[in-house]
């Protein structure tokens, strides 16, 4: 799994959160994503961690929050030494994207701007 396949969607989710989440929180998440990227680039992440992060991002993109959270928990339990520096940021990102309006998140995560029923505006 290439690092970009995980990092790009996570950064897009972070950008989607910026208008509604405190700057300090977004900056912290951003720093932790940078640590994740560096660890990935330096080959410090095992194959199971890379694979699970790829799955986590897929679930995040599908807005399957509980499944993404479950994968996060399994990473914390099974690979705490490997993930402790940055996984807290991913958890916070899951929580913040979960509270975004669905259309904003969808637009940020896959370029889609379709409004759902009842979201045409005032």
Domain membership of residue 105 (yes or no) is no
**What is the C-alpha separation between 90 and 69, in angstroms, rounded?**
10
In-domain check, residue 22: yes
Burial of 33 (0-12, 13-18, 19+ CB in 10 A): buried
Q: What is the DSSP string of 77-113?
A: HH-HHHHTTTHHHHHHHHHHHHTS-HHHHHHHHHS--
CATH number at residue 69: 1.20.940.10
Q: According to the model, what pLDDT value does residue 88 have?
A: 96
Q: Which residues contact 112 (CB under 8 A, 6 or more apart)?
A: 106
| Residue 122 covered by a domain | no
58 located within any domain: yes
**Domain residue limits at 33:** 3-99
More confident residue, 120 or 66: 66
Domain count, the chain: 1
- As a whole number, mean pLDDT of residues 77-89 equals 96
Q: In terms of pTM, does the model score above 0.75? A: yes
Percent of the chain scoring above 70 in pLDDT: 83
Mean per-residue pLDDT, 89-106: 85
């Amino acid at each position: 799994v290439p690092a970009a396949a995980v990092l790009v969607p996570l950064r897009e989710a972070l950008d989607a959160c910026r208008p509604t989440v405190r700057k300090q929180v977004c900056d912290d998440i951003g720093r932790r994503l940078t640590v994740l990227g560096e660890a990935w680039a330096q080959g410090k992440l095992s194959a199971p961690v890379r694979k699970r992060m790829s799955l986590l991002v897929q679930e995040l993109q599908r807005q399957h929050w509980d499944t993404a959270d479950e994968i996060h928990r399994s990473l914390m339990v099974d690979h705490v030494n490997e993930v402790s520096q940055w996984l807290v940021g991913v958890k916070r990102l899951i929580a913040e994207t979960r509270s975004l309006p669905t259309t904003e998140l969808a637009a940020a995560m896959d370029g889609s701007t379709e409004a759902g029923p009842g979201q045409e505006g005032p």
